[in-house]
């Protein structure tokens, strides 16, 4: 029986709200775990500034960065032409707007929406996310303020409370981390051309921030940073009120919008949205600039085509990046990148929350986060079920005792596809999407191991994985159970349920063969059957797929883009499969959700993107071997596209921090 956890709000898809039975990941204890928290190079620095001041300053810095980021995002991804200074609403059909994009799977998106709508939707999502981020930062900042005050008070009254200093330090670190996160985000975006920050501005200084903590440096940095955003500046100078900021920036952008350049006469209305850059951050904001144009080249992810001038660029944009499946797909990928980063951000903030809670600093109130933003709220219906972040933002534990750590920062689990169903359900998505379970597992091994998050794989694929991971490819039921519990924190509870499911799957699927052994019965996998299990079908738009294969040839994703993806810890994309363009042709007959086979293939042919760390795959212990001969033939191709298409399901996210994909699964 699933316990419906009430109180957690989740954005339920507008349409299929039928009680998605979600197995609420009820926070049951466990907080620990969180992987290595590499403290941001914290500085020991409080030079002449009092800790409090420093903290305050850092807060501002962080907010500044966040704001910058938000603005840039807004500029690049959402329609700047916001309505008169209100919430940056998005011009998307209400029907669409009502939907929570994050809960829509790629297929749904494609099916439900026409390309123009889809793009609009994507933009909308970006806008929403931005809002959420803004909101989030605002709250965060308010909280910190509050806490600071509290602390100051406390400090006066009980000077003895010496741990205070430490606490502040910890906070500083946390803040720094957040800053770094923001920077990463920015960098990623920059790389992808979504943000055109002149090198050296904004980001650079910030990066050094952690180390350069002496007051003077900070001041300097501050100047540099602020210099990058002339306008915003003033706003924040006085008190970083993100709230006003929200509207300000919005209205600002609206006002600042350079004369609509008719770039993008696309039929999809996108042009309007992708309006001219505005804002602050994009310094190169020449009146005739374009968010996707900078430094003389097209900043479209994976493009980098040189264009002498804007006119040429516009032309290029219209011809090369017109509304088609490929562009749509790229857009989606971009969306995912952003989402991933957001998730990462959420994680960090969650950690911060935990820290604050731990330090008894006004336990973070859930509301700030769960409270949907206006815009979103309309589309959000809180359906108390699971605890994913509906809005992509962290939902702090409802109760102070709730687990704060690794929960739901997960990889795929949180990905959009999963968002709508955290619980038990629909993980099959990912499977269908050909998510390489082995690779994903390898990459997120630690995560799944510690986070009480349901892995986005079907029982069948997990069982198979478990079996294939063993040298002799056979396991007893009990060993399978053990594998589950060892590999996934999620399966350390509700045992009756999932064990039953495991047994059920073993019996049900022909691909699992029971073999009488000396010591009893063991289960093996009939790969052939397994592959047959599902007819090759690809999720997502077939046309899209085709295009990807032919036209795009994922190899087209240039280095920077890939790198960006990699950076954003986008396993799926990082995964070899994604990169293995050479096998793109094979994708046509995709179809197996299987995973390891995919990986194997890639591994075997050794092709890979030069850019991605080879270690990524080299670290797959499993899989390379097993595929029974027969399965070989058709099992391979799978994923590239699939992945590409579906990565909406993004599996991953391995923490930026946990860099290495875990070398061994077992």
Partner DNA sequence: CGAGAGATAAACACCC
Partner DNA sequence: TGGGTGTTTATCTCTC
- The residues of the shown chain that bind DNA, judged by CB under 7 A, are 1-2, 16, 18-21, 23, 105, 107-108, 111, 417, 420-421, 423-429, 431-432, 457-460, 476-478, 481, 496-498, 500-501, 503-509, 514, 520-521, 523, 533-535, 537, 539-540, 593
* Cα torsion through 259, 301, 343, 324, rounded to 10: 80
Phi, psi torsion values for 255, nearest 5 degrees: -70, -40
* Closer residue to DNA (CB): 411 or 424: 424
CB of residue 512 vs DNA: minimum separation in angstroms?
8
Helix H or strand E segment including 294: strand 293-294
* Closer residue to DNA (CB): 477 or 559: 477
CB of residue 313 vs DNA: minimum separation in angstroms?
36
CB of residue 56 vs DNA: minimum separation in angstroms?
45
* Closer residue to DNA (CB): 60 or 418: 418
* Closer residue to DNA (CB): 373 or 475: 475
C-alpha to C-alpha distance for 407 and 451, rounded to whole angstroms = 5
CB of residue 573 vs DNA: minimum separation in angstroms?
19
* Closer residue to DNA (CB): 15 or 401: 15
Which residues on adjacent β-strands are paired with residue 521? 516
Nearest residue to 69 (alpha-carbon basis) of 218, 228, 275: 228
CB of residue 646 vs DNA: minimum separation in angstroms?
8
* Closer residue to DNA (CB): 4 or 658: 4
CB of residue 578 vs DNA: minimum separation in angstroms?
19
- Please list, in sequence order, all residues whose beta carbon lies within 8 angstroms of the beta carbon of residue 206, skipping any fewer than 6 positions away: 61, 65, 179, 182, 183, 221, 225
Residue 56 Cα to chain centre, angstroms = 28
- Cite the DSSP H helix spans in 570-624: 571-574, 576-579, 596-605, 615-618
Nearest residue to 27 (alpha-carbon basis) of 405, 482, 343: 405
Nearest residue to 351 (alpha-carbon basis) of 268, 407, 299, 308: 407
- How many of the other CB atoms lie within 10 Å of CB of 503? 15
* Closer residue to DNA (CB): 191 or 426: 426
CB of residue 520 vs DNA: minimum separation in angstroms?
6
CB of residue 454 vs DNA: minimum separation in angstroms?
7
C-alpha to C-alpha distance for 275 and 259, rounded to whole angstroms = 9
* Closer residue to DNA (CB): 2 or 52: 2
CB of residue 521 vs DNA: minimum separation in angstroms?
3
* Closer residue to DNA (CB): 239 or 520: 520
End-to-end CA distance of the chain: 30
**What is the 8-class DSSP label of residue 623?**
S
* Closer residue to DNA (CB): 283 or 592: 592
Helices 242-256, 51-77: axis angle to 10 degrees equals 30
Residue-wise burial string across 255-277, b where 16 or more C-beta atoms lie within 10 A, e elsewhere? ebbbeebebbebebbbbbbbbbb
Query: Dihedral of CA 623/629/632/635: which sign?
Result: negative
CB of residue 234 vs DNA: minimum separation in angstroms?
46
């Amino acid at each position: 029986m699933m316990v419906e956890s009430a109180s957690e709000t989740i954005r339920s898809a507008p349409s299929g709200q039928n009680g998605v039975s979600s197995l609420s990941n009820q926070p049951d204890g466990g907080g620990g775990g969180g992987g290595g928290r590499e403290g941001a190079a914290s500085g020991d620095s409080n030079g002449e500034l009092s800790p409090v001041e420093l903290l305050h300053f850092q807060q501002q810095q962080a907010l500044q960065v966040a704001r910058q980021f938000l603005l840039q995002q807004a500029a690049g991804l959402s329609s700047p032409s916001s309505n008169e200074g209100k919430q940056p609403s998005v011009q998307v059909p209400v029907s669409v707007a009502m939907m929570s994009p994050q809960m829509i799977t790629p297929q749904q998106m494609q099916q439900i929406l026409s390309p123009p709508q889809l793009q609009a939707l994507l933009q909308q999502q970006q806008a929403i996310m931005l809002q959420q981020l803004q909101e989030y930062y605002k709250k965060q900042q308010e909280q910190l303020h509050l806490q600071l005050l509290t602390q100051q008070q406390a400090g006066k009254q009980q000077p003895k409370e010496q741990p205070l200093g430490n606490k502040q330090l910890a906070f500083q670190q946390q803040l720094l981390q957040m800053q770094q996160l923001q920077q990463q985000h920015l960098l990623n975006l920059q790389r992808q051309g979504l943000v055109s920050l002149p090198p050296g501005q904004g980001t650079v200084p910030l990066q050094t921030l952690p180390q350069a903590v002496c007051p003077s440096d900070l001041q300097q940095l501050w100047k540099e940073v602020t210099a990058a955003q002339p306008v915003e500046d003033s706003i924040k100078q006085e008190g970083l009120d993100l709230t006003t900021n929200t509207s300000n920036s919005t209205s600002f952008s609206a006002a600042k919008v350079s004369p609509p350049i008719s770039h993008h006469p696309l039929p999809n209305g996108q042009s309007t949205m992708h309006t001219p850059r505005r804002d602050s951050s994009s310094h190169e904001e020449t009146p005739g600039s374009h968010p996707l144009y900078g430094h003389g080249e097209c900043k479209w992810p994976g493009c980098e085509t040189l264009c002498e001038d804007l006119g040429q660029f516009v032309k290029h944009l219209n011809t090369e990046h017109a509304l088609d499946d490929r562009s749509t797909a790229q857009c989606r990928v971009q969306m995912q990148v952003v989402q991933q980063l957001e998730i990462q951000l959420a994680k960090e903030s969650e950690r911060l929350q935990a820290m604050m809670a731990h330090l008894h600093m006004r336990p973070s109130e859930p509301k700030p986060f769960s409270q949907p933003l206006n815009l979103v709220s309309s589309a959000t219906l809180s359906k108390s079920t699971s605890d994913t972040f509906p809005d992509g933002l962290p939902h702090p534990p409802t109760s102070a005792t709730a687990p704060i750590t690794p929960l739901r920062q997960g990889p795929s689990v949180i990905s959009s596809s999963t968002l709508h169903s955290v619980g038990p359900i629909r993980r099959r998505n990912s499977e269908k999407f050909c998510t390489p379970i082995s690779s994903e597992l390898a990459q997120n091994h630690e995560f799944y191991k510690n986070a009480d998050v349901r892995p986005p794989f079907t029982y069948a694929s997990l069982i198979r994985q478990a079996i294939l991971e063993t040298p002799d490819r056979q396991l007893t039921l009990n060993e399978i159970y053990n594998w589950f519990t060892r590999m996934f924190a999620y399966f350390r509870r509700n045992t009756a349920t999932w064990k039953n499911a495991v047994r059920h799957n073993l019996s049900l699927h022909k691909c699992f063969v029971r073999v009488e052994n000396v010591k009893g019965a063991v289960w093996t996998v009939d790969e052939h059957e397994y592959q047959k299990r599902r007819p090759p079908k690809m999720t997502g738009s077939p046309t899209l797929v085709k295009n990807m294969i032919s036209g795009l040839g994922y190899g087209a994703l240039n280095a920077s883009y890939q790198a960006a993806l990699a950076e954003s810890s986008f396993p799926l994309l990082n995964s070899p499969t994604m990169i293995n363009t050479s096998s793109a042709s094979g994708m046509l007959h995709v179809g197996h959700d299987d995973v390891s086979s995919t990986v194997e293939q890639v591994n075997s042919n050794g092709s890979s993107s030069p850019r991605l760390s080879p270690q990524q795959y080299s670290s797959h212990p499993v899989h390379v071997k097993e595929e029974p001969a027969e399965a070989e033939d058709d099992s391979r191709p799978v994923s590239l596209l699939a992945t590409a298409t579906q990565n909406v399901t993004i599996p991953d996210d391995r923490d930026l921090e946990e860099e290495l994909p875990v070398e061994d699964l077992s």
